[in-house]
Structure 1
């Protein structure tokens, strides 16, 4: 029994060490009340906005995991314009058309384990061709167009 406890303790501490040294992300939402378009179709606006922000934060976290151990990806989002536009008929619905392309404006920093800035920049992403080509990776995701755009930026900017 004692041998099992010692083994479990050793494995647990190794896992904790791995988790604590993995790359992480932090997302800040600057002046989010002034964003171009984070509006719900049908539904509660504040809850929709909270879901959208949580979804983006989770996505940035997943992207940060691709960075080397110990690094931190800091994101300061300054504007969001989701793909599509909300129209009012009998109910509020988000209509996706080519003319309502996704945009996101943010600044970023990548820090090393000692909090030194490795790289940084201001980004103004937009995908005017978001409906062209394949989007199979996120075809069932409400933020699929935005996530694809962020993936492309991340790979081109931070993984090369």
Structure 2
């Protein structure tokens, strides 16, 4: 009798401990999470604390919005694409200052849809960033702050087979890089 009572108490203790630690495995707002990609190559990407991002501050499901490593994935995508477009010798430093992902949670659909992100034209992706573009000697070629928005994100050219949950934000960054680093700009290719 004592052993079953002890086993029951031990199991109950483990369950309580598990519930007390029921937080997302990857939490973009975790204070211990990195705030920059490791330094490598000509493109450096860092970001402000995601807890201050519009995606988390105004989310209708903050717990779901902070899950995963989506900020790091966007930073890695930005680095990869910029590295391929950057003229030889130039360097780009980008700080992501705010992100609002495409779509939003609509809790009024009921508990079965708590973790569903609804894509509607009233929820466009938005990314604010600061950047500095330098030449091989470290001279600043261009710098500034950009507020990127794709109001027509649902009507853009996205492959039907593309199931990447960050496809709209990545396309927004790709469009910015195409405009910012185009060859006919005075700063490109110097």
Q: TM-score, normalised by structure 1?
A: 0.73
Structure 1 runs not aligned, ≥5 long: 1-21
Counterparts of 2:158 and 2:42, CA distance in 1: 26
Partner of 2:159: 136
2:140 to 112, 117, 122: 117
Is 2:178 the partner of 1:159? no
Are 1:23 and 1:67, in contact at CA under 8 Å, matched by a contact in 2?
no
Determine helix, strand or coil for the equivalent of 1:131. Answer: helix
Counterparts of 1:97 and 1:45, CA distance in 2: 17
1:63 to 81, 93, 107: 81
Counterparts of 1:53 and 1:133, CA distance in 2: 22
Deviating runs (4+, > 4 A) in structure 1?
A: 38-47
Q: 1:147 to 1:155 in 2, by over 3 A?
A: same
Partner of 1:72: 91
Greater relative CO, 1 or 2 (CA 8 Å, sep 6+):
1
- Please state how far the C-alpha of 1:40 moved relative to its aligned partner: 9.9
Q: 1:118 to 1:148 in 2, by over 3 A?
A: same
The size of the alignment, in residue pairs, is 137
The structure whose residues are more often strand, as a share, is: 1
2:169 to 116, 135, 146: 146
Is 2:71 the partner of 1:53? yes
Counterparts of 2:75 and 2:160, CA distance in 1: 18
- CA deviations on 1:39-78 (whole Å, 9 max, x unpaired) are 6979765542xx1111111111112221022322111111
Q: 1:43 to 1:30 in 2, by over 3 A?
A: closer
- Please state how far the C-alpha of 1:117 moved relative to its aligned partner: 1.4
Counterparts of 2:160 and 2:176, CA distance in 1: 16
- CA deviations on 1:90-141 (whole Å, 9 max, x unpaired) are 1332111111110001111112233221111110010111111321298221
Q: TM-score, normalised by structure 2?
A: 0.63
Segment drifting more, 150-159 vs 100-109:
150-159
Partner of 1:3: none
